Amino acid sequence: MSSAFGTKLSLRLRIFLFFCLIALGGVAIFLGATAFGYWRLKDPGAFDAFVAAGAIAAFGLVGMVAWIWLLFDENVAKPLSSLASEIRARVHAEVQSEIDHEAAQYLGDIAPAASEIARDLTKTRTALEEAVKRETDQITREKSWLAAILRDFPAGVLLCNGDHKIMLYNMQSVSLLQQTGALGLDRALFELLRPEPLLDALDRLRRAKRSDQAAEILCTSKSGGRVFKGQLRLLGSARESDPKKGGYILILHDVTEDLQVHAARDYLLRDLVEMIRRPAANLRTSLAILQSPGTFSTAQRERLQSVLDKEAEALVSIIDKFVTRFDATETTWWPMSDIAAGDIVAGLQAQLAAQGLEIQAKTAPLMLYCGGFALIQLLAGLAERLGRSRTGTDLALSIQPEGEGATIDLSWQGQVLPVETLETWLEEPLGASYDCYTLRDAVEVHRTEIWPERLPEGRAHLRLPLRTASSEQTGEPLPIRPEFYDFELLGRLGAHLDDDRPLRDLTYVVFDTETTGLEPAAGDEIVQIAGVRVVNGRIMSGENFDVLVNPERSIPVSSTKIHGITEAMVTDAPTIDSVCGDFHSFCSGAVLVAHNAPFDMAFLRRHATRLSIDFDHPILDTVLLSAIVFGHDADHSLDALAERLDIEILSTERHTALGDAKATALALIKLLPMLEARGIETLKQAISEFDNYRRIVKAAH
């Protein structure tokens, strides 16, 4: 029991207690010797002298021991504790900087020996990493291929574990679900989608006899605003006795607009039947009367003719309205996408060159929403027929913006093309690739028309308008997300904030705030809040929260000098009332981490209480984590901690909320294995250690 208690004490405290024991033992021995001397002397008058001598000697002995202890603590115990922390940093956090020898200069060869061990460990680790890298290059390439396929797969792909936590997603799923909620690794699927259809499909698949069976589902976003058609398939392990040990894959397509179009067409057909029923019945009755035997007077015939004209006009009006509504609900069943106008030109020129034709082109930098190959086939077919019929020469193509769309003009030197000729050409096949479609089909799938016009200077053209076009965007391609999957999450089940879960299995949101000042109780406010998610020891680079906040008060110049945020920058920014709720949603299911967390949480909780938002997450403070690992005497500022752990903070990112949050997250990732090495492996143990540290600090002050 005493041995177990002793191992929990720090080295410096144990040495202090050891010297206290020496002092107490020395005083006891000296007093005992004095008493024995007085007893042998048997002189009552000498008692006071013996007492005075004993007291002076005892105080002198205690003072000497205390002085020796201070020297020992400063030159031995403290350097040893620091050296132990530095060794752990190099073993567990992969710090590569040299160990500070100056602090351990009185420990002889211990510091140089530790440095040699650290250098040898670094060399060994480097050699091992190189060997592993050589052996896994092929696996890495295959994983990259898989990642590229999944990332660019044209449907949304989600892979979930048995606890319905996302462990893989592709970029298409981001596009599909970005408006429904926060998508990310280790987030709950049912924060994005309504659970009932998915749970029903899972239950059916788990009871199915065939292991390769898939379930077709129709589900909605949690808000009900989007409708998705999908296919759900179980992973093999999901059929075990405990279904939560497995997982499932979900493939989604957004069918919201398709369903709306189909519904609109159903309503249209129903309305058409109702609208034509009465005039059709009247027309049939009137015709029956006209065909019946008998003689009608002139007045009767005129009235009957008036009824026929009126009902015919009503029927024509109904048909016109039906055509208008039908056009509005027409589906673009032909595959459409955004294509650069320059690519259309390049494809057309290449196809005409194969036929020995040339065409000049003038295009604006536009993205056309069209069926690319079909549009090229249409323009090439018309250009070839113009050349073959010798209708015109000097072919030219122009693509220019017009309103929300664009106009395509195929022009030539010569006479205007007769409408009858154009109509004949449009009925001809579109090409070998689309032998069952005509040039007119290529026009109609774009929901447009084409017509000939005469131009000045003996030229003519065919004009083809497109409904949708936008300015061509140029820039760097989107970066490849390295962390869009993590198969280790497959076996992680249960409440993610369970106190007994290992620290390495928890999901964290590491955040930071920039403020107008340091006193929330005195009216200072947040001007920027940022956070990053840490899942399975990795920072999710694409899952950041970074928002400027309008503090609704002035920002002191002294604060602006620190974080660089001016009043002009936050004039149009949202207020904390809206940002606080968004940040709370971002933190769902995570442990909150900050450097000097009480400061940041004081600002959040001040408004959260008023907004009925409860930040009941467990909270870790990297200041306290640093104190546990490196001792309370060390400098625990973010800069000092980053330097100690070999973390580089760019000067442009320091004192920005996102930059500091990222640096704190990197520190957390390196501190976690160092905590485990000290026996602090769970959230409960970390919080308990925090409480112990707070009591020690409170007692010291």
Task: Count CA atoms closer than 13 A to 223's CA, side-chain side.
Answer: 8
The first and second tokens of residue 471, run together, are: 């300015």
370 DSSP β-pair partners = 337
Tallying the residues shown for the chain, one arrives at 701
Residues 333/444, Cβ–Cβ less than 8 Å: no
Contact yes or no for 419/452 (Cβ under 8 A): yes
Q: Give me the residue label for tokens 């069943």.
A: 333
With vertex at residue 139, the alpha carbon angle to CA 133 and CA 143, rounded to the nearest 5 degrees, is 120
Asked if 628 contacts 536 with a C-beta cutoff of 8 angstroms, the reply is no
How is residue 689 written in tokens?
């250690």
**Contact 352/359 with Cβ under 8 angstroms?**
yes
DSSP 372-403: HHHHHHHHHHHHHHHHHTT-EEEEEEEEEEET
The three-state secondary structure class of 101 is coil
Q: Is 209 helix (H, G, I), strand (E, B) or coil?
A: coil
273 within 8 A of 193, measured Cβ to Cβ:
no
154 class by beta-carbon count within 10 Å (0-12 exposed, 13-18 middle, 19+ buried): exposed
Tell me which residue of 175, 229, 225, 169 sits closest to 201, measured CA to CA: 229
C-beta of residue 615 within 8 angstroms of C-beta of residue 601: yes
Two tokens, residue 241: 């006795």
Residue among 193, 6, 13 at smallest CA distance from 699: 13
What does the alpha-carbon distance between residue 321 and residue 308 come to, in Å, rounded to a whole number? 20
Looking at residue 411, the DSSP 8-state letter turns out to be: E
Residue 601 to residue 546: CA distance in whole angstroms = 17
The two structure tokens encoding residue 437: 């479609």
Main-chain phi, psi angles of 479, to 5 degrees: -70, 150
Residue 701 is among the residues annotated as catalytic for this protein: no
User: Is residue 509 a contact partner of residue 592, using CB atoms and an 8 Å limit?
Assistant: yes
Residue 344 · residue 376 · CB < 8 Å = yes
> Taking a C-beta distance cutoff of 8 angstroms, is the pair 238, 265 a contact?
no
The sign one gets for the Cα dihedral 59, 61, 62, 68 is positive
Name the catalytic one among 101, 253, 632, 655: 655
Q: Residues 604, 606, 611, CA angle at the centre, nearest 5°? A: 85
User: Alpha-carbon distance 375 to 344, whole Å?
Assistant: 8
Nearest-10 Cα torsion for 609, 614, 620, 623: -10
Residues annotated as part of the active site: 655
